[in-house]
A and B are shown apart, each in its own frame.
Chain A
Amino acid sequence: MVVETAKFGRVVVPDGEVIYFESGLIGFEDQKEFFLYPVLENPAFQWLQSKSDPSLAILLVDPFVFCPGYEVILSDSLLEELAIKSQEDVVVFTTISFPDGDAWNATTNLLGPIVINNSSRKGKQIVLDGTTYSTRHRLFPHGRPALSEEACG
Chain B
Amino acid sequence: MLVLARKVNQTLVIGDNITITILGIEPDQVKLGISAPPHVSIHRLEVYEAIKAANISASKAEVAMAEELGKWAKKGRNAIGGRLDKKDT
Contacts and interface: CB of A to CB of B under 8 A. Distances in A.
Interface of A: 7-8, 22-23, 25-28, 39-45, 47, 56-59, 62, 64-65, 68, 77-78, 80-81, 91-92, 95-99, 101, 103-104, 106, 109, 111-112, 125, 127, 129, 135-136, 139-140, 144-145, 147-151
A103 B47 contact: no
A82 B4 CA distance: 36
B69 A26 contact: no
B53 to A, nearest CB: 7
B52 A147 contact: no
Contact of A97 (B61, B72, B74, B79): B61
A44 B66 contact: no
Contact of B88 (A92, A125, A139, A145): A92
A153 B66 CA distance: 21
Contacts, number: 137
A95 to B, nearest CB: 4
Interface of B: 38-39, 41, 43-44, 47-48, 50-63, 65-76, 78-80, 83-84, 87-89
A22 B51 contact: no
Nearest to B44: A129
Given A95-B55, A96-B66, A147-B79, 7 more contacts: A77-B38, A78-B38, A97-B57, A103-B65, A135-B53, A135-B54, A145-B72
A58 B55 contact: yes
B68 A65 contact: no
A103 B57 contact: no
Contacts of B87: 44, 62, 64-65
Per DSSP, are chain B's interface residues mostly helix, strand or loop, or mixed?
helix
Given A22-B39, A64-B87, A42 B73 contact: yes
Per DSSP, are chain A's interface residues mostly helix, strand or loop, or mixed?
loop
A27 B52 contact: yes
A6 B55 CA distance: 18
Given A96-B61, A148-B79, A59 B66 contact: yes
13 contacts: A22-B39, A27-B55, A42-B70, A43-B89, A44-B87, A47-B66, A56-B59, A62-B89, A106-B65, A112-B55, A147-B75, A147-B78, A150-B76
